[in-house]
Amino acid sequence: MKKCEDVSKQLIAYLDRRANSAERHEVEEHLAACSACHERAEDFRKLWGVLDEVPLVEPSLGFDARIRARIAEEPRRGWLGWLVPQPRLAFAMALLLALSVWMARLPREGNVAGTEQQDFEAIKDLGVLENYDVLSKFDALSEVPVEAAPTDQPAQPVTPGSEQQPTTEE
Amino acid sequence: MEHTQTLQLYGTAGVRYNVGAMTRSDVQLMLDVKAGDEASFNLLLQKYRTPLVNFLYRMVRNTGTAEDLAQEVFLRVYRARKQYSPSAKFTTWLFRIATNLALNSLRDNRYRQMDVSIDAPVEEDAAPLQLPARELRIDEKMIERDRSEFIRRAIAALPEKQRVAVLLHKYEEMDYGEIAKILECSESALKSLLFRAYETLRVQLAPLVSQSVANRAREGRPS
Task: Provide the domain limits for residue B198.
Answer: 133-223
Contact A74 B79 (CB under 8 A): yes
Give the Cα separation of B212 and A46 in Å (integer).
8
- What is the CATH number for B24? 1.10.1740.10
Position with higher pLDDT, B82 vs A165: B82
Q: What's the pLDDT at B86?
A: 85
Task: Give the gap in angstroms from C-alpha A113 to the nearest C-alpha of chain B.
Answer: 51
In a domain, B184, yes or no: yes
Residue B30 in any domain: the answer is yes
Q: Could you tell me the pTM of the whole model?
A: 0.63
pLDDT band for position B135 (cuts 50, 70, 90): low
Does residue B108 have a pLDDT over 90? no
B12, A8: Cβ pair inside 8 Å?
no
At A159 the pLDDT is 45
Q: Are both B154 and B94 inside the same structural domain?
A: no
Evaluate if residue B122 carries a pLDDT over 70: no
Q: Are B37 and B28 in contact (CB under 8 A)?
A: no
| Res A140 pLDDT > 60 | yes
The alpha-helical segments, DSSP class H, found in chain B are 26-34, 38-60, 63-79, 90-108, 138-156, 160-166, 176-183, 187-204, 206-218
**Band (A91; pLDDT cuts 50, 70, 90):** confident
**Which is higher by pLDDT, A101 or B219?**
A101
Mean pLDDT within B158-168: 95
Residue of B nearest to A70 (CA): B75
pLDDT at A135 over 90: no
Q: CA of A73, closest CA in chain B: separation in Å?
A: 11
Specify whether the CB–CB gap between B99 and B166 falls below 8 A: no
Chain B residues within 8 A of A55 when measuring between CB atoms? 15, 128, 130-132, 148
Q: Residue A41 above 50 pLDDT?
A: yes
- Give residue A24's pLDDT: 92
Work out the minimum CA distance from B191 to partner chain A, whole angstroms.
5
Q: How confident is the model at residue A28 (pLDDT cuts 50, 70, 90)?
A: very high
By Cβ distance, the residue of B79, B144, B192 closest to A9 is: B192
One domain, residues B82 and B187: no
Q: Which tops the pLDDT comparison, B15 or A126? A: A126
B151/A54 Cβ within 8 A: yes
Q: What is the pLDDT of residue B193?
A: 95
CATH number at residue B150: 1.10.10.10
* Choice among A48-62, A107-121, B158-172 with the minimum mean pLDDT: A107-121
Same-domain check for residues B102 and B148: no
For residues B191 and B156, membership in a common domain is answered with yes
**Residue after which a domain boundary falls, among B114, B144, B179:** B114
Residue-level pLDDT at A80:
58
Has residue B25 been placed in a domain? yes
How much is the ipTM here? 0.71
Question: Structural domain tally of chain B?
Answer: 2
- Mean pLDDT within A117-142: 71
Pick left, alpha or beta for residue B87 (phi over 0 → left; psi -120 to 50 → alpha; otherwise beta). alpha
Listing DSSP states for B26-69 in one string gives HHHHHHHHHTT-HHHHHHHHHHHHHHHHHHHHHHH--HHHHHHH
The stretch A127-132 carries a mean pLDDT of 71
State the pLDDT confidence band at A130, using cuts at 50, 70 and 90. Answer: confident
Find chain B residues with C-beta within 8 A of A71's C-beta.
Answer: 41, 75, 78
Residues B140 and B221 in one domain: yes
Q: Cα distance from B110 to chain A (closest Cα, Å)?
A: 21
Mean pLDDT score, B102-119: 64
Residue B88 shares a structural domain with residue B149: no
Q: Note whether B157 and B72 are within 8 A (CB).
A: no
Average pLDDT over residues B75-97: 91
Which residues does chain B have within 8 Å of residue A54's beta carbon, measured at their own beta carbons? 15, 58, 148, 151-152
* Statement to judge: residues B110 and B26 lie in one domain: yes
B106 and B139, same domain (yes or no): no
At residue A88, does pLDDT exceed 70?
yes
Across B28-39, average pLDDT: 90
Q: How far is B155 from chain A (nearest CA, A)?
A: 9
Ranked by mean pLDDT, the top range of A35-44, B124-133, B214-223 is A35-44
Q: Are residues B172 and B206 in the same domain?
A: yes
Cβ pair A74:B78 closer than 8 A:
yes
What local confidence, expressed as pLDDT, does residue A163 receive?
Answer: 42
B101 and B176 in a single domain? The answer is: no
Residue of B nearest to A15 (CA): B9
pLDDT value at B101 more than 70? yes
B191 with A48: Cβ contact below 8 A:
no
Q: B150 or A114: whose pLDDT is higher?
A: B150
Q: Within this chain, do residues B146 and B79 fall inside the same structural domain, yes or no?
A: no
Residue type, B69: L
**Which of B44, B79, B114 is a domain's end point?**
B114
> Is B2 found in the same domain as B94?
yes
